[in-house]
Structure 1
Amino acid sequence: MKNVFIIGSLLVFTATTAFAQDEYVYNQPAGFILHKTTKAQREENRLIKKEKAASSPSYMTAQHFMVDFPNAANVSWKRGSFEEASFTWNGKEMKAFYDMDDVLIGTTTPASYSDIPANAQKDIEKYYKDYTPTSVIMFDDNEFNDTDMILYGNSFEDEDNYFVEMTNNNKIIVLQVNMQGLVSFFKDISYSNVK
């Protein structure tokens, strides 16, 4: 009698297990195929996930961005030292930089050479007369965040500044100009791919 009870229990257990497995297979999403992935496929999937993560902000950064720049258009994200959003806002091309605490560090916008203070223009023409200005960006600091910004691979203290790229044949340098017109050498980027 004991054997009949044990065999009966094993049959019920086996049937239940088989039914549960069938149910699992039938409840898979359409097109779902159970198979082993190769090492190359796993590596490709990992790279795709990594690329997607590099081009999307954290949830909190995205929320802060929407509050900081309502109605921003053509938004694209990049992760590096900071989370960086490139976008158009009120007709201007801009970049916004967020720290690891999801707080705005500052923004950059393209500027023209004539936007920098007049006394800085005179100093540049005097001390860098062999160079030609090629582009200018204006960094607008978020005064409520003490995180130092990194541009062109160099860190600088929090304050609004212009950055002027200057060329002389194959040499490209960047000058930093503060709002009072003080000009200082910032970096030689002739052989660098950092911007």
Structure 2
Amino acid sequence: MKKTYAVSLFLFLLLSVSVYFLTYKLSKDILEKDSNTVEETQDEPVVSVDTNNEQTVVNTTKYVLEHYNSKEYTLNEETLPTPADFMGLTRDELIDYLTEYEKAPSLEDRQLGFESFELVSFSKDQIVLRKTYHPYADDYKYYLKDENGYVTVYYIDKSTIYEYTNIAVDSLPEDLQEELVTGKYMSTMNELYNFLENYSS
């Protein structure tokens, strides 16, 4: 009886140990398989979806233009109709457009002391642009300079020519000659016409 009991106990223990090891091995295999699956998933390249939906200016885009006075540090803004030239432009294309404008601003902008034109914000719903000005003194409208021995009349922006004259600088009084070396400012058209009338040959 004792012998049978001992054998039964031995077989029970052997069976229990076998079941334990089989269960351990099986669960270890499952864990390793899951781990490999996770690693394979992590190693797979992430596929980026090219939506190709770059935003552009459309006819419903709100256009806000800011005017910044760098002399007085003031900022004003106005909402304007979106220019036809802007339609269909992406952010980068609009920046290129503004860069080109800076090279040849309008006469009105130059007379106001135009400095720069930049993009403040961009979306399909709204674009905000900023023109920066450094205004000239209000009392000056024209600028006269000695160029190649003759007086040339510019607008106050000093780059837009108002008139080439046939007035030889060396025919002018000495004090005027000295002024024209650095540039002579004039306030009104009457003042300019008086000068041209007095010294034209």
Q: TM-score, normalised by structure 1?
A: 0.26
Higher RCO, 1 or 2 (CA under 8 Å, sep at least 6)?
Answer: 2
Q: Which has the larger radius of gyration?
A: 2
Comparing both structures, which one devotes a greater share of its residues to strand? 1
Comparing both structures, which one devotes a greater share of its residues to helix? 2
